[in-house]
């Protein structure tokens, strides 16, 4: 082999690995989606998020990867999933629910976290302030605790005999503690007596409601994963003892609850996608203000109302965003 040919071959072989690396596909940005419930229970939330991401040009498995994990209402799973996302080195973690974002924040102070819905993020220590979150967390507050008084006022329109309100909450839950405090304050401001039902696990639900017989005129259910997972049972038991139930989200009313009033969660997840888009394009979560709901839904179940012998006033029906029959 001639000397010139030898060096030409050597140069070509040395360049080959670099050329091969250049041809390898670039790693797609990865989003870790931490769902607090099941895939089916939160399908409308994820659908809204994915659709808005598409509108920003982020298409699943083409321009972005979304790794879904579902906690199935089990609080211990939040930390496990958050740790897994850290190990996967995802680019952004998206969470659903207060306890989920708390777990994610404990797992990482580096990976950006966007909560699609969470109770008072300042009171729960998730952000420094709404305008200037600081750290690696931002998202959308559902203001569930803040509108407790409005919920109870609506309930009083439907249940004019309301004098004593029972409040059910999981006391080991961040949102459970926070919202129970605000509901208690709102009820007392409205001159109502209160019965507290503090639960820790599913087996506590039935005896708690059974003990309410004759001791309350309605049941306020604080929205969080444990009660969400058991919402059908809660509403059935409450109906059996003649208790109207008040909730913060539509799925509870679909499951037999009397009424709900709260932020439109799919809308929040559309807006969460806007934040994720900004982060994937270089913005820092600390510079993205936490946003609040702009759309609230009142949902009423007329079948449940009839079973309880309640007549829904026309003015309340006129306010309803949805009536289930």
* Domain locations along the chain: 30-142+264-295, 148-263+297-324
For the entire predicted model, the pTM comes to: 0.85
The answer to whether the CB of 158 falls within 8 A of the CB of 196 is: no
| pLDDT tens-place string over residues 184-227 | 999 999 999 999 999 999 999 999 999 888 899 999 999 888 89
* Cα separation values, 292 from 43, 131, 262, 287, Å: 22, 11, 12, 16
The answer to whether the CB of 224 falls within 8 A of the CB of 98 is: yes
| pLDDT tens-place string over residues 18-60 | 444 444 456 899 999 999 989 988 999 999 999 999 999 999 9
Q: Tell me if 30-142+264-295 shares its fold with 148-263+297-324.
A: yes
Cα-to-chain-centroid distance, residue 28? 26
Looking at residue 20, its pLDDT comes to 42
Per-residue pLDDT band for 13 (boundaries 50, 70, 90) equals very low
> SS3 of 70, please?
strand
Is domain 30-142+264-295 classified as CATH 3.40.50.300? no
Q: 199 — phi, psi (to 5°)? A: -115, 155
The CATH classification number of 148-263+297-324 equals 3.40.50.2300
């Amino acid at each position: 082999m001639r000397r010139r040919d030898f060096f030409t071959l050597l140069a070509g072989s040395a360049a080959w690995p670099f050329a091969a690396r250049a041809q390898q596909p670039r790693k797609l940005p990865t989003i870790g989606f931490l769902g607090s419930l099941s895939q089916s229970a939160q399908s409308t939330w994820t659908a809204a998020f994915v659709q808005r991401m598409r509108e920003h040009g982020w298409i699943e498995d083409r321009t972005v990867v979304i790794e879904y994990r579902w906690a199935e209402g089990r609080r211990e799973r939040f930390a496990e999933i958050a740790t897994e996302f850290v190990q996967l080195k995802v680019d952004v973690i998206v969470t659903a629910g207060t306890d989920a974002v708390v777990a994610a924040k404990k797992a990482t102070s580096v990976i950006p976290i966007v909560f699609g819905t969470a109770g008072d993020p300042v009171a729960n220590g998730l952000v420094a302030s709404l305008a200037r979150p600081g750290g690696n967390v931002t998202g959308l507050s559902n203001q569930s605790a803040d509108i407790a008084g409005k919920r109870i006022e609506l309930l009083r329109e439907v249940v004019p005999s309301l004098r004593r309100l029972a409040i059910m909450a999981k006391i080991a839950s961040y949102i459970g503690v926070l919202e129970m405090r605000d509901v208690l304050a709102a009820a007392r401001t409205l001159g109502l007596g209160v019965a507290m039902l503090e639960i820790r696990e599913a087996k506590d639900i039935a005896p708690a409601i059974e003990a309410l017989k004759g001791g309350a005129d309605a049941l306020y259910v604080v929205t969080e994963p444990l009660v969400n997972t058991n919402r059908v049972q809660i509403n059935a038991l409450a109906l059996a003892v003649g208790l109207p139930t008040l909730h913060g989200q539509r799925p509870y009313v679909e499951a037999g609850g009397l009424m709900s009033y709260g932020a439109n969660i799919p809308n929040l997840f559309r807006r969460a996608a806007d934040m994720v888009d900004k982060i994937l394009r270089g913005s820092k979560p600390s510079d993205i203000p936490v946003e609040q709901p702009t759309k609230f839904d009142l949902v009423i179940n007329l079948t449940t109302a009839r079973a309880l012998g309640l007549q829904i006033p026309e003015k309340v029906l006129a306010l309803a965003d949805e009536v289930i029959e």
